[in-house]
C-alpha cells in the first residue's frame, strides 16, 4: 500500500487558490492527475498552468459550484479527460459575516449555496465515477466552525456544521461500496479568503495577531499544512478512516474558554 496517488484522478473544487490550490499541487506532487474546478477562470487557468509547466497532469474546468448543472458538466468532463475519478476534495468556499438579524436572505442562501449545496452537487456528480472505479475517497473542507461558533458568522457556522453532518452521512451510506468520506477542520489559514477578512478590519495587523494567539502553536496555518492532511485522508494510508473530522488548527480547539482563559482564568499559569 502506497501513500502516493499514481494512477489516481482527483477533483478539487475551489482549486484556483488558497487551500484548494495547495491541495491540487500536493496531490499532483504525490502522482495524481488533478482537475481543478473553480468559478475564477483567470486564477484557475493560472494555477493549472503552473502545475502543467511543472510537468504534472492537471486541467481546469470552470464552473459555479452553486449550479448543479455546471458542476455535473465539469466533473463529467474531468473524468472523461483523465480516464476516471477516485478522489473528490470540496474546498470551494466564501466567507460572509452577520448574525441572524443582520444576515440577508441573499447572503444566507449564497453562503449555504457555495459550501453546502456545492458539496452536495460535487459529491453527487462524482460518486457514480468513484463507484465505477471500485471506490474512492472524499475529503470535505469544514472548519473549526464545524464544531464551534465564531461571533457574527451565523450562515458560515451553520454551513460548516452541516458539512460535518453531510460527511458522516456519505461515510455511512457508501462505506459498503468502498467510498470513504472525511472532513478537515482548519483553524485560521493564510489564504486570499483570510486576507480579505482581515482587510475588512480597522486594524488588520491587530486582528492577525489575535488570530495567531488563538492557536496554541502561536501562529496561523499555511495552506499546504491543510493540503497534507487532506492528502493523507484521501490516500490509501487512511484506508480505515471514514466519517472522521480532523482538526488542522494548531491546537485552536483544545483550550477550554479560549486562549485568554488559559492566562487569566482559574488554574492559569499567567503569561509564560
Ligand atoms: N482560510 C481559512 O482561514 C479557513 C479556515 C477554515 C476553513 N476554511 C475553508 O477552506 C476552504 C477554502 O478556503 P480558502 O481560505 O482557501 O479560500 P479562498 O478564497 O482562498 O479560496 C476559495 C476558492 O473557492 C472558489 N469559489 C468560491 N465560490 C465559488 C463558486 N460559487 N463556484 C466555484 N468556486 C468558488 C474561489 O474562486 C476560490 O478559488 C473554504 O471552504 C473555507 O471556508 C478556510
What is the C-alpha to C-alpha distance for residues 132 and 259, in angstroms, rounded to an integer? 47
Q: Is 44 in the pocket of ligand 1 (CB under 6 A)?
A: no
Q: Which of 156, 191, 230, 252 is catalytic?
A: 156
Active site residue 156: yes
Domains annotated for the chain, with CATH where assigned, are: 9-189+222-251 (3.40.50.720)
The pLDDT of residue 94 is 98
Cα-to-centroid distance, 21 and ligand 1 (Å): 10
What is the C-alpha to C-alpha distance for residues 52 and 56, in angstroms, rounded to an integer? 5
- pLDDT tens per residue across span 155-164: 999 999 999 9
Q: Which atom of ligand 1 is nearest to the CA of 145?
A: 6
Query: 59: which strand partners?
Result: 35
Q: Is 164 in the pocket of ligand 1 (CB under 6 A)?
A: no
Cα-to-centroid distance, 1 and ligand 1 (Å): 32
What is the C-alpha to C-alpha distance for residues 73 and 213, in angstroms, rounded to an integer? 43
Ligand 1, atom 40: nearest CA belongs to which residue? 93
Q: Is 194 in the pocket of ligand 1 (CB under 6 A)?
A: yes
3-class state of residue 265 by DSSP:
coil
Q: Is 197 in the pocket of ligand 1 (CB under 6 A)?
A: no
- pLDDT tens per residue across span 217-261: 999 999 999 999 999 999 999 999 999 999 999 999 999 999 989
The pLDDT of residue 3 is 80
Q: List Cα–Cα distances, 143 to 21, 86, 125, in angstroms.
A: 17, 24, 23
3-class state of residue 135 by DSSP:
coil
pTM here is: 0.98
Q: Is 191 in the pocket of ligand 1 (CB under 6 A)?
A: yes
What is the C-alpha to C-alpha distance for residues 269 and 271, in angstroms, rounded to an integer? 7
Range 91-115 average pLDDT: 98
What is the C-alpha to C-alpha distance for residues 46 and 63, in angstroms, rounded to an integer? 16
Which of the listed residues 61, 92, 245 should we mutate to test ligand 1's pocket, taking the one with most ligand atoms within 8 A of CB?
92
Cα-to-centroid distance, 76 and ligand 1 (Å): 22
* C-beta of residue 163 within 8 angstroms of C-beta of residue 227: no
3-class state of residue 33 by DSSP:
strand
Cell of 271: 503569561
Q: Is 119 in the pocket of ligand 1 (CB under 6 A)?
A: no
Amino acid at each position: 500500500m502506497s501513500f502516493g496517488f499514481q494512477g489516481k484522478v482527483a477533483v478539487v473544487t475551489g482549486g484556483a487558490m488558497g487551500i484548494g490550490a495547495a491541495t491540487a499541487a500536493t496531490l499532483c506532487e504525490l502522482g495524481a492527475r488533478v482537475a481543478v474546478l473553480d468559478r475564477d477562470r483567470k486564477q484557475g487557468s493560472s494555477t493549472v498552468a503552473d502545475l502543467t509547466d511543472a510537468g504534472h497532469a492537471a486541467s481546469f474546468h470552470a464552473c459555479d459550484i452553486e449550479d448543479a448543472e455546471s458542476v455535473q458538466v465539469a466533473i463529467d468532463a474531468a473524468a472523461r479527460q483523465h480516464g476516471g475519478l477516485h478522489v473528490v476534495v470540496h474546498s470551494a468556499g466564501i466567507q460572509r459575516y452577520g448574525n441572524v438579524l443582520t444576515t440577508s436572505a441573499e447572503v444566507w442562501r449564497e453562503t449555504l449555496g457555495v459550501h453546502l449545496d456545492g458539496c452536495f452537487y460535487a459529491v453527487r456528480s462524482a460518486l457514480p465515477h468513484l463507484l465505477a472505479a471500485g471506490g474512492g475517497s472524499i475529503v470535505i473542507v469544514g472548519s473549526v466552525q464545524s464544531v464551534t461558533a465564531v461571533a457574527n458568522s451565523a450562515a458560515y457556522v451553520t454551513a460548516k456544521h452541516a458539512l460535518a453532518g453531510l460527511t458522516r452521512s456519505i461515510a455511512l451510506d457508501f462505506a459498503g461500496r468502498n467510498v470513504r468520506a472525511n472532513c478537515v477542520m482548519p483553524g485560521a489559514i493564510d489564504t486570499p479568503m483570510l486576507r480579505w477578512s482581515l482587510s475588512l478590519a480597522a486594524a488588520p495587523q491587530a486582528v492577525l495577531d489575535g488570530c495567531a494567539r488563538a492557536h496554541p502553536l502561536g501562529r496561523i496555518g499555511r495552506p499546504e499544512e491543510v493540503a497534507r492532511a487532506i492528502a493523507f485522508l484521501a490516500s490509501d494510508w487512511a484506508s480505515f478512516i471514514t466519517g472522521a473530522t480532523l482538526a488542522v488548527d494548531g491546537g485552536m480547539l483544545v483550550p477550554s474558554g479560549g486562549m485568554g482563559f488559559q492566562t487569566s482564568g482559574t488554574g492559569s499559569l499567567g503569561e509564560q
